[in-house]
């Protein structure tokens, strides 16, 4: 009996160690499901069901789910965030502008990660990183609250060494690189497109920051980014992934994005 329980303890320790090692070497795919909520909201009922799609994404291989609740609830609603929290089995990432309402929601829901983005309520989608130098005091205060609550923090920034340094000063655990400029420049000259992101990623690593990336990543440009920055912790992808799923189906699409991270 003692022999068996000792063995069980050893096996579970092995799993924990394996998981920690994988966490260190893997770039995780977090699927942003805002577009699913946009589709649902178009008809006012519950089709497609946001929670079911999130759970299916997990079953199909996603390593995390990202949502971006906005004040006008035009896609993800506050209620979706509460519904998702107890059911998700992978990493839950909530991104958004840290308004008092947003901070309150995140502190109540306690996701694994919160990503701070500087967008105004009316904005179509995030289109810039934070000016972390100008907003140092504000970000320090907000990050401090999340750090105390045990929620990992990430700050959305451009591939700019100074912005990354100030994100570290503010107390962020990670930065998320805003990859739209990489995605736009990729078709012209992929080496030139990725170069500033590799430099920025090195700055983040030298400061001990974790590294996420997101915006306009796709099956076309993701693998090249990964090859050049294999130490990324996570990529967060919505628009292209959900669009690809219209043709390929959600399961195959998620597998194909995962294949880009190998
Ligand atoms: N990261 C952040 C901070 C975002 O605001 C978004 C868009 O919601 C994404 C990643 C995902 O971008 P995309 O939908 O272009 O994949």
pLDDT of 1 above 80: no
Catalytic: 112?
A: no
From CA 89, how far away is CA 92, in angstroms rounded? 8
Cβ-contact 32, 257 below 8 angstroms? no
Atom of ligand 1 nearest to the CA of 32: 11
Whether domain 27-259 has CATH 1.10.10.10: the reply is no
Domain residues of the chain, as ranges? 27-259
Atom of ligand 1 nearest to the CA of 34: 8
Provide the annotated binding site. Answer: 32, 43, 70, 75, 125, 216, 238-239
Decide: 75 in ligand 1 pocket, CB within 6 A: no
Active-site residue, from 95, 165, 180, 234: 95
Active-site residue, from 58, 91, 215, 234: 215
Q: What is the mean pLDDT of residues 189-214?
A: 98
Segment 57-68, tens digit of pLDDT: 999 999 999 999
Decide: 156 in ligand 1 pocket, CB within 6 A: yes
Atom of ligand 1 nearest to the CA of 68: 8
Q: Whole-prediction pTM value?
A: 0.91
Catalytic: 148?
A: no
Catalytic: 176?
A: no
Decide: 68 in ligand 1 pocket, CB within 6 A: yes
- Would you place residue 55 in the very low, low, confident or very high pLDDT band (cuts 50, 70, 90)? very high
Going from the Cα of 43 to the center of ligand 1, the distance in angstroms, rounded, reads 24
Going from the Cα of 237 to the center of ligand 1, the distance in angstroms, rounded, reads 6
Segment 105-155, tens digit of pLDDT: 999 999 999 999 998 766 767 788 999 999 999 999 999 999 999 999 999
């Amino acid at each position: 009996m003692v022999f068996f329980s000792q063995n069980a303890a050893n096996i579970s320790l092995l799993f924990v160690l394996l998981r920690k090692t994988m966490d260190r070497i893997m770039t995780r795919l977090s699927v942003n499901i805002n577009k699913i909520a946009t589709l649902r909201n178009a008809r006012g009922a519950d089709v497609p069901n946001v929670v079911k799609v999130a759970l299916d994404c997990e079953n199909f291989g996603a390593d995390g789910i990202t949502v971006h609740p906005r004040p006008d609830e035009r896609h993800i609603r506050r209620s979706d965030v509460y519904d998702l929290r107890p059911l998700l089995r992978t990493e839950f990432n909530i991104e958004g502008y840290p308004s008092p309402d947003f901070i309150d929601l995140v502190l109540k829901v306690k996701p694994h990660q919160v990503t701070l983005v500087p967008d105004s309520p009316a904005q179509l989608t995030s289109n810039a990183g934070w000016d972390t130098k100008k907003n140092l005091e504000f970000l320090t205060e907000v990050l401090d609250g999340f750090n105390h609550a045990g929620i990992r923090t990430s700050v959305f920034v451009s591939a700019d060494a100074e912005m990354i340094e100030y994100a570290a000063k503010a107390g962020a655990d990670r930065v998320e690189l805003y990859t739209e400029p990489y995605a736009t420049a990729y078709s012209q000259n992929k080496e030139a497109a990725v170069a500033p992101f590799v430099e920025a990623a090195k700055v983040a690593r030298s400061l001990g920051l974790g590294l996420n990336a997101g915006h306009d990543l796709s099956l076309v440009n993701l693998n090249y980014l990964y090859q050049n920055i294999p130490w990324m912790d996570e990529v967060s992808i919505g628009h292209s992934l959900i669009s690809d799923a219209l043709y390929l189906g959600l399961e195959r699409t998620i597998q194909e994005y995962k294949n880009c991270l190998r």
